[in-house]
């Protein structure tokens, strides 16, 4: 039962991810992205990592992709402006990407294959937060400063253009 | 798990979902009657005694109306959008604890569909997915008013999720858990000897922020900028008719019920009667199942109070302007939420864990 | 171990999904010309990494991987916000979001 659910949702994630890449319209890409991220969240939930699963939905599907859709609708791109690359280049890219992926898969099975498999543990919220606020306190604080810098940066990028001041004669 | 367990949990899902959907017709009737009362007119009074069958007439009307699809629209997303907004509204209900437990067929049954250890974040996360229905609906309608409505909705939802989340952090700090069931279990008895032991007395500021943000999250007046009928015809659902429109409507009322339920659970003691402990009540009543029924009724009364508050505010307050809406979120609610977290932390530090 | 047996073990399956996700993201990143879709593909690649991190963290019974995922998600949110602001500015400049047009950044 659980294996079947697992297989179904991993296929779902992969198919919708392919939808992101192959859709003609940007809105369809965004829609597929939401579904793909949602599928990943369900995979996490099936493993028992419920906290990270909910964070995934809350931040990725609930905030980041909303921003994407917002910008897509703001620009309101009428015609699909996507120009496919020359197909020789496309095929070369595809072959090299999937070659890289094959190597990655081999590396994974080599290096993680011999790891002692512990009984999968539930990562409770309490465990995560204790670690986050003791051992990883400094990275956490640096991240907050980073976010502050980010807010200032985005304000500078997005502020309305100032009118040129009148030159004094 | 045995087959019996599956049947039990499926019937629990069906019963609770059907129960919560009853909010929709009741709210339609109450909303029209209260609006009529405030505007000094009789309201619905033709169908049945006191117009009580008006919701049925409405439903029949919606079912048999023509279902137009405008030209040059994206048919797939146009049809999907209403269900994208109804689905999260139904999913969210799974985490609300309605009452403690009943004893049926010789086993304890919790009156809650499932108790995740992160059910509070679950409600916020799934609730935030409801915006996609509005976004895609407005975009697929191929109508400028709808598009503006859904753009407003997106920025409003993103802005008001922040104060909602900040208000919730205070509650989580007080109770030390994300599980709504455990939160309710901790709200039993009295606080300082004369108050009910409810979350609102620990988190008054947080409750205020949560209340205001929940109005905006459910697109209710005074924050219904996505569907301002004076400026945008009807906002994101301008082009929708028949059952598709009714689906948007149902989603809105179910979101209201969820928000009211969440406020009851976090700030008003969930299923607990004020001042009375469950163990005392059990002695008086003598049976766990009777206690469970009393708890369900208590919960429903509390939720009904908040739903009535929503209706009352809708018909008494004027609408905000869009820049005022943004100013309220970023300028007042988010700083208030941060101050609430800081105050809670300081007080908890000095009182040693409890506020 | 035959491929079928490998696919039966959940670990291998996870790596398969993660690598597939990463590959799709990389492919989209390289062949798509729409700047918005390119950003989305970047998100797909980040999610593939998250998947492996969560799986390893649960497998070894430690929370380090999950904390790393929390950091990655935060930075990804930040990255998207900046990226979209830049795309909006570019659109203001050239009235298109085709990245081929932005080979030279002069007006």
Q: Give a yes or no: residue A111 inside a domain.
A: no
Q: What is the ipTM of this complex?
A: 0.84
**Closest CA in chain A for residue C77:** A64
The dihedral over CA atoms of B208, B212, B214, B215, expressed in degrees to the nearest 10, equals: 150
Q: Give a yes or no: residue A122 inside a domain.
A: no
Q: Given an 8 Å threshold on Cβ–Cβ distance, is C31 in contact with A75? A: no
Name residues whose C-beta falls within 8 Å of residue A74's C-beta, 6 or more positions apart in sequence.
B151, C88
Q: Given an 8 Å threshold on Cβ–Cβ distance, is C80 in contact with A67? A: yes
Angle subtended by helix axes B204-217 and B144-175, to nearest 10 = 160
For the record, the structure tokens of A70 come out as 């917002």
Name residues whose C-beta falls within 8 Å of residue B226's C-beta, 6 or more positions apart in sequence.
B134, B138, B149, B150, B152, B153, B156, B219, B232, B235, B236
Q: Give a yes or no: residue A6 inside a domain.
A: yes
**Beta-strand pair B190-191/B107-111:** unpaired
Fold observed for domain C3-103: Helix Hairpins (1.10.287)
Q: Which domain holds residue A12?
A: 1-77
CB-nearest to C30 from A60, A93, A128 is A93
Asked if C37 and C43 count as a contact pair (C-beta separation under 8 A), the reply is no
- Number of domains making up chain A: 1
The residues in A 51-110 lying below 8 A from C, measured between CB atoms, are 51-52, 55-56, 59-60, 63-64, 67-68, 71-72, 74-75, 77, 81-85, 90, 93-94, 97-98, 100-101, 104-105, 108-109
Q: Does A70 touch chain B (CB under 8 A)?
A: yes
Touching status, chains B and C (3+ beta-carbon pairs under 8 Å): no
CA atoms of A8 and A42, how far apart (whole Å): 11
Name residues whose C-beta falls within 8 Å of residue C19's C-beta, 6 or more positions apart in sequence.
A101, A104, A105, A108, C48
Q: Is the pLDDT of residue C1 over 50?
A: no
Per the rule left: phi > 0, alpha: psi between -120 and 50, beta: everything else, B177 is beta
**Residue A165 phi, psi dihedral angles, 5° rounding:** -70, 150
The pLDDT score that the predictor gives to residue B34 is 87
Gap between the terminal Cα atoms of chain A: 81
Asked if B291 and B301 count as a contact pair (C-beta separation under 8 A), the reply is no
Within 10 angstroms of residue B303's Cβ, the number of other Cβ atoms is 25
Taking the domains of chain B in order of start, what are their residue ranges? 66-351
CB-nearest to A52 from C23, C69, C96 is C69
From residue A141, alpha-carbon distances to A134, A145, C64, C71 in Å are: 11, 7, 17, 11
CA atoms of B160 and B209, how far apart (whole Å): 10
Spell out the per-residue pLDDT of chain B, length 355, in tens.
Answer: 577 878 888 888 888 888 888 888 888 888 888 888 888 888 787 777 877 888 888 888 888 887 777 777 778 888 888 888 889 988 888 888 888 877 777 777 787 788 888 888 899 889 888 888 888 888 888 788 888 888 888 888 888 888 998 999 988 888 888 888 888 888 887 777 777 888 888 888 889 999 999 888 888 778 777 676 667 777 777 778 778 888 888 888 888 888 898 899 888 888 888 877 777 777 787 787 888 888 888 889 999 999 998 888 888 888 888 888 888 888 889 999 999 999 988 888 888 765 4
**Residue A117 phi, psi dihedral angles, 5° rounding:** -85, 110
Q: Which of B188, A43, A135 is nearest to C17 (CA)?
A: A43
Q: Give a yes or no: residue A83 inside a domain.
A: no
Angle value at C-alpha B273, between B269 and B275, nearest 5 degrees: 90
Residue with tokens 């035959």: C2
The CATH number of whichever domain residue A9 belongs to comes to 1.20.120.1200
State the best of A13, A37, A103 to mutate against chain C, taking most chain C CBs within 10 Å.
Answer: A13
Residues A118-164 have pLDDT tens digits of: 555 566 788 888 888 888 899 889 999 999 999 888 888 877 766 55
**Residue B100 phi, psi dihedral angles, 5° rounding:** -70, -80
Q: Does A18 touch chain B (CB under 8 A)?
A: no
Taking the domains of chain C in order of start, what are their residue ranges? 3-103
Q: Give a yes or no: residue A163 inside a domain.
A: no
Cα–chain center distance at B102: 25
Which residues from C are below 8 Å from A121, CB to CB?
58, 61
CB-nearest to C71 from A6, A97, A139 is A139
């Amino acid at each position: 039962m659980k294996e079947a659910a697992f297989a179904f949702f991993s296929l779902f994630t992969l198919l919708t991810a392919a939808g992101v890449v192959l859709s003609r319209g940007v809105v369809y890409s965004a829609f597929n992205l939401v579904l793909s991220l949602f599928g990943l969240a369900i995979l996490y939930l099936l493993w028992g990592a419920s906290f990270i699963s909910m964070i995934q939905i809350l931040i990725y599907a609930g905030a980041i992709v909303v921003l994407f859709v917002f910008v897509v609708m703001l620009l309101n791109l009428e015609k699909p402006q996507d120009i496919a690359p020359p197909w020789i280049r496309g095929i070369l890219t595809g072959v090299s990407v999937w070659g890289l992926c094959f190597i990655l898969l081999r590396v994974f099975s080599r290096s993680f294959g011999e790891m002692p498999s512990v009984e999968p543990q539930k990562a409770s919220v309490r465990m995560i937060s204790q670690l986050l606020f003791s051992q990883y306190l400094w990275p956490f604080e640096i991240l907050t400063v980073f976010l502050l810098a980010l807010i200032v940066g985005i304000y500078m990028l997005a502020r309305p253009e100032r009118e040129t001041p009148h030159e004094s004669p | 798990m045995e087959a019996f367990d599956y049947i039990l949990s499926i019937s629990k899902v069906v019963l609770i979902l059907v129960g919560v959907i009853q909010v929709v017709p009741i709210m339609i009737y109450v909303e029209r009657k209260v609006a009529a009362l405030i505007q000094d007119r009789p309201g619905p009074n033709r169908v049945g005694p006191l117009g009580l069958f008006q919701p049925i007439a409405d439903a029949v009307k919606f079912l048999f109306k023509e279902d137009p699809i405008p030209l040059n629209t994206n048919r797939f997303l146009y049809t999907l959008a209403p269900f994208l907004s109804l689905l999260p509204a139904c999913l969210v209900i799974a985490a609300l604890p309605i009452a403690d437990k009943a004893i049926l067929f010789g086993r304890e049954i919790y009156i809650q569909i499932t108790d995740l250890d992160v059910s509070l974040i679950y409600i916020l996360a799934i609730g935030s997915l409801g915006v996609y229905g509005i976004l895609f609906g407005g975009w697929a309608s191929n109508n400028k008013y709808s598009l503006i409505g859904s753009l407003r909705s997106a920025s409003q939802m993103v802005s008001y999720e922040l104060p909602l989340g900040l208000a919730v952090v205070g509650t989580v700090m007080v109770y030390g858990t994300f599980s709504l069931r455990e939160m309710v279990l901790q709200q039993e008895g009295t606080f300082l000897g004369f108050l009910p032991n409810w979350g609102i007395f620990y988190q008054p500021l947080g409750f205020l922020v949560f209340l205001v943000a929940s109005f905006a999250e459910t697109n209710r007046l005074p924050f219904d900028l996505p569907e301002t009928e004076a400026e945008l015809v009807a906002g994101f659902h301008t082009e929708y008719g028949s059952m598709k429109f009714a689906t948007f409507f149902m989603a809105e009322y179910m979101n209201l019920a969820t928000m009211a339920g969440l406020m009851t659970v976090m700030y008003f003691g969930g299923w607990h009667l004020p001042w009375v402990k469950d163990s005392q009540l059990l002695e008086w009543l003598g049976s766990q199942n009777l206690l469970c029924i009393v708890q369900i009724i208590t919960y429903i009364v509390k939720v009904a109070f908040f739903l009535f508050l929503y209706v009352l505010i809708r018909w008494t307050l004027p609408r905000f302007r869009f820049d005022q809406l943004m100013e309220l979120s970023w300028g007042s609610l988010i700083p208030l939420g941060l101050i609430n977290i800081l105050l809670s932390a300081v007080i908890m530090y000095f009182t040693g864990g409890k506020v | 171990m035959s491929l079928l047996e490998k696919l039966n073990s959940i670990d291998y399956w996870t790596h398969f999904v993660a690598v597939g996700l990463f590959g799709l993201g990389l492919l989209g990143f390289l062949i798509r010309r729409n700047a918005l879709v390119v950003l989305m593909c970047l998100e797909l690649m980040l999610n593939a990494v998250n998947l492996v991190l969560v799986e390893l963290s649960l497998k070894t019974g430690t929370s380090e991987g999950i904390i790393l995922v929390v950091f990655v998600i935060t930075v990804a949110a930040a990255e998207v916000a900046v990226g979209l602001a830049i795309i909006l500015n570019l659109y203001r400049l050239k009235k298109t979001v085709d990245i081929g047009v932005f080979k030279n950044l002069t007006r």
